Structure 1
Amino acid sequence: MKGITLLALSIFSTAFLSFTPINKKYIVIDAGHGGNDFGATHGEIREKNISLSVAKEIQKINESQDKYEIILTRDSDSYPTLSERTAQINKLNPEMVISLHVNTSPEKERSDNGFEIYTQNSDVSKELAGKIYKKFNARKISESNLHILRETKAPAVLVELGFINNSENRNYITSEKGQKEIAQKFVEIINEY
């Protein structure tokens, strides 16, 4: 009887101690546009594809991290509406939201280049924007009333990854090397959070 009790206690202890409570923390990466909404374009190059590729790369690189689980608002060429995106985000209650986009200038080949970051009117959003600004040597940060920023309850930023009509930016953000470097930097920022 004593042996059975010890065995049962041992099995219970092993099962109990190996149980780790699920306390997942989420980061949402919003790949801008999608489906029939191409976003900014340059010939056959479309913003929706660039933002999705970078979002997937962030998720892939982050898989080896334990701190956060990366959730994408879209993982294919679909178009969840802005309201659907923010409803999904608010339901998850993530630690932060990064919405990825690509900029364009009014003229054909302008000299505008680099990252631009838009924030909510919150200290946490502005702090996150500051980290992105430094990591990417961005050209500006400004507060904005864009839907994804206004309707998201979690700290959120919208990041323009460069200008599609600037050949240097375009070549970098459409290259596999450029997308991996951008994604790696975002993962570093996320895991410093």
Structure 2
Amino acid sequence: MLRYPLVTLAVAALGLPLSTAPAQAAPEMPAVAGWSTPAPAPTGCTTSMEWIYDGVNYYYGRGKVQCTTGRYRVKIQCRNQQTGVGYVIYGGTAVNAPGTATATCYVGNVAEKVYPVEDPLPTGVTTGCAPWIEWVHEGSNHYYGRGRVQCDTGRYQVKINCRNLQTGVAYVVYGGQVVTAPDTATTTCYSGNVAESVEALPQ
């Protein structure tokens, strides 16, 4: 007389276990704390400049930017027309599209160009570069072109394309110092020569 059922003997002969534990589900990946999808860069941006009078002698340039998507601030490139020196001013408050971001130059100075600035700023890249040219006078006969560039992010130096107007010869000058945003990188042409274009060189 058999002491075990035939099914039990067959399972044992095949080397199979008599019982199998239920399959376990793969463990779930833990959520990454603080992770979020980066906000898209602003698009569909329209810029404008105004010349504002406020009182008898109080006047200044104002820049505005409005975009169709994204979050942004405004940056304006200004110039003191008495000295010829340019500079950059950021609007302090970021707005969501389609809001209008606004900033003004110092009193008596004009706005020459307006830029939208992504908020928050991207990292690991050089972005939002504003180049400009100045004509510098020192003394009665010492004058030259100067190039400057200022960016929102990254590290960079300035490169200017210069020309000797007497000979017509063009040449390039690199700024020796690498700066970190939002600092301004500056270099000059040789005495008596003009700057024709300016660009930022990411480092």
Higher relative contact order (CA 8 A, sep 6+): 1
Structure with greater strand share of residues: 2
Structure with greater helix share of residues: 1
Do these two structures clear the TM 0.5 threshold for a shared fold by scoring above it?
no
Q: Which has the larger radius of gyration?
A: 2
Please report the TM-score for the alignment, with normalisation by the length of structure 2: 0.28
